[in-house]
């Protein structure tokens, strides 16, 4: 079965814009992209009425398995308190006391929210369980929602635990229980969470168990996170808010993507990362939501694109590219994030004549249709 998606006013494929374009979808894949006037005959024709089409968003950083919320903490921050890693423990307590069905339903409804806003691939981390069984069940829930699952037993040291003993659990029993459900291993490398030596040890144990590394790096302070990410060829160093020139140079000469999470700076009222500096140095940049109840409770990639343009020095084209192609690179995927023949048919039809409207009309629900693997899902 072939479907012609036609009438596209503008198609933005991550690198270039095409005007008056059409896309042919066959099964789960894109079979052809080109000018409308040259489109081949297809079984079905679907007219999108001269709207802009972009690749589905790739949200490469999200924490969706949790219970409770932290409205109180957000409110306190907006009255002048500052964000610390310690708030994570509040969510850990709520998550441990919640039943599996509740956690699964809440995570699924966040994925629903994301889909409605154009996200067609999402990465989901554990990290609010912090016991062997609570981490394992978080990842089991995550695997029911995505292939991009991340073991984040090293989110913080749980209340009352000894740090060295906890690292032994994270690299031992917990890793053995979680590895079958995870593709990635991640560590929150930060003051108040895990230091450089612990980060390296945990990532290396994960790699030995067959997982691929990614790192929460340099969010709240300068530190060793980015350097360790590059050293271990991590797919991504996430946050990258406080970088030295050496960090930027290391990223620029590596295969590690800098994933920027402007929702976190928005929600913690902190200075934004300098995307311009990274792009100008030749670093591949991704944008993701970091959806979590503490530092960034947004599921909206369009919101993050608008923030990236307004607050991080990115052009609309760079921001939309970072939210699609960049996210795919951060997950080491080459089958998503671009509209081109052979890619998975993940497409978003915007109620707008140009992708620029994602930043130009912030907060307006512009996602009109969502196609995932060749199927219309919204
Ligand atoms: O990416 N940085 C660590 N983890 C989350 C915050 C989690 C929380 O505050 O609950 C983040 O911002
Ligand atoms: Fe995070």
- Exposed e or buried b per residue across 344-375, where buried means at least 16 C-beta atoms within 10 angstroms of its C-beta: bbbbbbbebebbbbbbeeeeeebbbbbbbbbe
Of 127, 290, 298, best ligand 1 pocket probe by most atoms within 8 Å of the beta carbon: 290
CATH 2.30.40.10 in the chain is located at: 2-55+338-376
- Write out the DSSP string of 166-189: HHHHHHTHHHHHHGGG-SEEEEEE
Of 295, 297, 330, best ligand 1 pocket probe by most atoms within 8 Å of the beta carbon: 295
Q: Give pLDDT, residue 191.
A: 94
Average pLDDT over residues 337-363: 98
Given a cut of 90, whether residue 85 has pLDDT beyond it is no
> What percentage of the chain exceeds 90 in pLDDT?
98
Q: What would the pLDDT profile of 143-186 be if each residue is shown by its tens digit?
A: 999 999 999 999 999 999 999 999 999 999 999 999 999 999 99
Q: Give pLDDT, residue 16.
A: 85
- Specify the pairing of strand 44-47 against strand 2-12: parallel
Q: Give pLDDT, residue 86.
A: 87
CA dihedral 71, 77, 79, 80 (to 10 degrees): 170
> What percentage of the chain exceeds 70 in pLDDT?
100
C-alpha 80 to ligand 1 mean position (Å): 19
Average pLDDT over residues 212-233: 98
Q: Which of 113, 17, 56, 2 is nearest to 345 (CA)?
A: 56
Compute the distance between CA of residue 132 and CA of residue 152 in angstroms, rounded to an integer.
12
369: which strand partners?
Answer: 349
Q: 295 CB contacts (<8 Å, ≥6 apart)? A: 83, 87, 263, 264, 267, 268
Compute the distance between CA of residue 79 and CA of residue 77 in angstroms, rounded to an integer.
5
Atom from ligand 1 closest to the CA of residue 87: 9
CATH 3.20.20.140 in the chain is located at: 57-330
Compute the distance between CA of residue 152 and CA of residue 136 in angstroms, rounded to an integer.
11
Q: Take atom 1 of ligand 1 and give the residue whose Cα is closest.
A: 290
Compute the distance between CA of residue 227 and CA of residue 249 in angstroms, rounded to an integer.
10
Compute the distance between CA of residue 277 and CA of residue 256 in angstroms, rounded to an integer.
16
Compute the distance between CA of residue 234 and CA of residue 232 in angstroms, rounded to an integer.
5
Given a cut of 90, whether residue 306 has pLDDT beyond it is yes
Q: Take atom 3 of ligand 1 and give the residue whose Cα is closest.
A: 188
Given a cut of 90, whether residue 231 has pLDDT beyond it is yes
Kindly tell me the burial class for residue 160, based on how many C-beta atoms sit within 10 Å of its own C-beta (0-12, 13-18, 19 or more).
exposed
Average pLDDT over residues 13-25: 92
Atom from ligand 1 closest to the CA of residue 61: 1
The CATH number, out of the four listed (3.40.50.300, 3.40.190.80, 3.30.450.90, 3.20.20.140), of the domain defined by the range 57-330: 3.20.20.140
- Write out the DSSP string of 285-311: EEE---BBTTTB----HHHHHHHHHHH
Which ligand does the CA of 156 lie closest to? Answer: 1
State the first-to-last Cα distance of the chain, in angstroms, to the nearest integer.
20
Residue pair 192/86 in contact by the 8 Å Cβ criterion? yes
Compute the distance between CA of residue 335 and CA of residue 344 in angstroms, rounded to an integer.
6
Given a cut of 90, whether residue 241 has pLDDT beyond it is yes
Atom from ligand 1 closest to the CA of residue 290: 1
Query: Where does the pLDDT of residue 53 fall: very low under 50, low under 70, confident under 90, or very high at 90 and above?
Result: very high
Compute the distance between CA of residue 67 and CA of residue 90 in angstroms, rounded to an integer.
10
Q: Which residues are annotated as a binding site?
A: 61, 63, 70, 128, 155, 216, 219, 290, 292, 294-295
CATH architecture of 2-55+338-376: Roll (2.30)
Q: Take atom 8 of ligand 1 and give the residue whose Cα is closest.
A: 294
H helical segments located in 33-87: 71-78
C-alpha 373 to ligand 2 mean position (Å): 27
Residue pair 99/141 in contact by the 8 Å Cβ criterion? no
Atom from ligand 1 closest to the CA of residue 220: 2
- Count of C-beta atoms within a 10 Å radius of residue 317: 17
Q: Which of 347, 329, 367, 369 is nearest to 55 (CA)?
A: 347
C-alpha 216 to ligand 2 mean position (Å): 6
Q: How far is CA 183 from the centre of its chain?
A: 14
Average pLDDT over residues 303-319: 98
Q: Indicate the pTM of the whole model.
A: 0.98
Angle 198-203-104 (CA atoms, 0-180°, nearest 5)?
Answer: 105
Query: Where does the pLDDT of residue 322 fall: very low under 50, low under 70, confident under 90, or very high at 90 and above?
Result: very high
Residue pair 110/134 in contact by the 8 Å Cβ criterion? no
Q: Take atom 5 of ligand 1 and give the residue whose Cα is closest.
A: 295
Q: Give pLDDT, residue 239.
A: 98
Q: What is the mean pLDDT of the chain?
A: 97
Atom from ligand 1 closest to the CA of residue 264: 12
Average pLDDT over residues 48-76: 97
Of 74, 82, 85, 124, best ligand 1 pocket probe by most atoms within 8 Å of the beta carbon: 85
Ligand 1 surroundings by CB, under 6 angstroms: 87-88, 91, 188, 216, 219, 264, 290, 292-296
Average pLDDT over residues 337-355: 98
Q: Give pLDDT, residue 6.
A: 96
Q: Give pLDDT, residue 297.
A: 98
DSSP label at residue 40: P
Q: What would the pLDDT profile of 106-155 be if each residue is shown by its tens digit?
A: 999 999 999 999 999 999 999 999 999 999 999 999 999 999 999 999 99
Q: Which residues are annotated as a binding site for N-formimidoyl-L-glutamate?
A: 128, 292, 294
Q: What would the pLDDT profile of 253-279 be if each residue is shown by its tens digit?
A: 999 999 999 999 999 999 999 999 999
């Amino acid at each position: 079965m072939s479907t012609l998606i036609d009438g596209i006013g503008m198609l933005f494929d991550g690198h270039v814009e095409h005007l008056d374009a059409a896309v042919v979808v066959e099964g789960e894949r894109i079979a052809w992209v080109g000018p409308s006037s040259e489109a081949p005959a297809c079984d079905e024709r679907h007219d999108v009425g001269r709207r802009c089409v972009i690749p589905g968003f790739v949200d490469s950083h999200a924490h969706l398995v949790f219970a409770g919320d932290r409205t109180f903490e957000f409110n306190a921050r907006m009255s002048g308190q500052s964000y610390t890693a310690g708030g994570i423990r509040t969510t850990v307590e709520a998550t441990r006391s919640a039943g599996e069905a509740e956690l699964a339903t809440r995570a699924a409804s966040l994925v629903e929210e994301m889909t409605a806003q154009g996200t067609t691939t999402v990465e989901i981390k554990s990290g609010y369980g912090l016991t062997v069984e609570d981490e394992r069940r978080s990842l089991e829930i995550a695997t029911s929602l995505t292939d991009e699952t991340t073991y984040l037993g090293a989110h913080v040291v749980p209340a009352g635990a000894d740090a060295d003993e906890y690292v032994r659990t994270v690299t031992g029993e917990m890793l053995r229980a979680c590895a079958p459900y995870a593709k990635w291993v991640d560590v929150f490398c930060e003051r108040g969470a895990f230091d450089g030596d612990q980060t390296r040890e945990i990532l290396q144990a994960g790699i030995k168990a067959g997982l691929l590394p990614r790192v929460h790096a340099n969010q709240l302070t300068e530190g060793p996170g980015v350097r360790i990410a590059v050293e271990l060829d991590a797919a991504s160093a996430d946050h990258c808010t406080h970088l030295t020139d050496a960090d930027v140079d290391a990223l620029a000469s590596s295969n590690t993507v800098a994933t920027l999470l402007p929702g976190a700076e928005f929600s913690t009222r902190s200075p934004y990362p300098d995307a311009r500096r990274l792009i100008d140095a030749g670093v591949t940049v991704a944008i993701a939501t970091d959806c979590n109840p503490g530092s960034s409770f947004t599921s909206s990639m369009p919101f993050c694109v608008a923030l990236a343009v307004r607050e991080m020095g990115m052009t609309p084209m760079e921001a939309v590219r970072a939210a699609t192609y960049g996210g795919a690179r951060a997950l080491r995927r080459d089958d998503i994030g671009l509209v081109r023949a052979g890619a998975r048919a993940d497409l978003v039809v915007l109620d707008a004549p140009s992708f620029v409207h994602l930043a130009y009309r912030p907060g307006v629900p512009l996602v009109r249709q969502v196609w995932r693997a060749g199927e219309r899902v919204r």
